[in-house]
Amino acid sequence: TMFDNVYAIGDVTSMNVTDSIVVPKAGIFAEEQGITVARNIIAKIIREKEKAVFDGKGGCFVELGTNQAGYIEVDMFSKPTPLTLLKSPTTQHMQEKEKFEVDRLEKWL
C-alpha cells in the first residue's frame, strides 16, 4: 500500500498488469503475496533490507470429473503481455492436484 507497514494481499487487492488486464483473484496468488509480505516483515524486524518481490507466477488445476485434471500456468508480469500455458488433462495432473490440496491443508491448517 502507499502507507508504511501496511500490507494488503489476496482478495482485497487489485493488481493491474495493463490498463485492461488485472491479476486474477486466485488462491495461489494470495498465498505467494502472503509469503512475500511475511519475508519482508521478517527482514524489517531483523533489520535486513526488504527484498522479497511477488513475481506474478502461479497455476491452477482444472478438474474434469473423469479422474483427470488439466493445469493452467500463468506468468502475469511477462512482457509484453501475460503468458498462459494450458497443459492437457491427465491422471498425473489429477494426482498432483490431490497432493497440492493435501500440502495446503497440512501447511496452513
Residue 24 lies in a domain: yes
Q: What torsion do the CA atoms of 37, 32, 20, 78 make, to the nearest 10 degrees? A: 110
Q: How far apart are CA 83 and CA 8, in angstroms?
A: 25
Are 97 and 63 within 8 A, CB to CB? yes
Residue 23 lies in a domain: yes
Specify the higher pLDDT residue, 37 or 12: 37
Mean pLDDT (whole number) for 53-78: 92
Residue 35 lies in a domain: yes
Residue 2 lies in a domain: no
- The answer, as to whether pTM is greater than 0.75, is yes
Are 9 and 23 within 8 A, CB to CB? no
Residue 33 lies in a domain: yes
pLDDT (tens digit per residue) in 74-107: 998 888 888 999 999 999 999 999 999 999 999 8
Residue 20 lies in a domain: yes
Residue 42 lies in a domain: yes
- The structural domain count of the chain equals 1
- Asked if residue 42 has pLDDT above 90, the reply is yes
Q: Which domain holds residue 85?
A: 10-108
Are 10 and 30 within 8 A, CB to CB? yes
Residue 1 lies in a domain: no
- Asked if residue 25 has pLDDT above 80, the reply is no
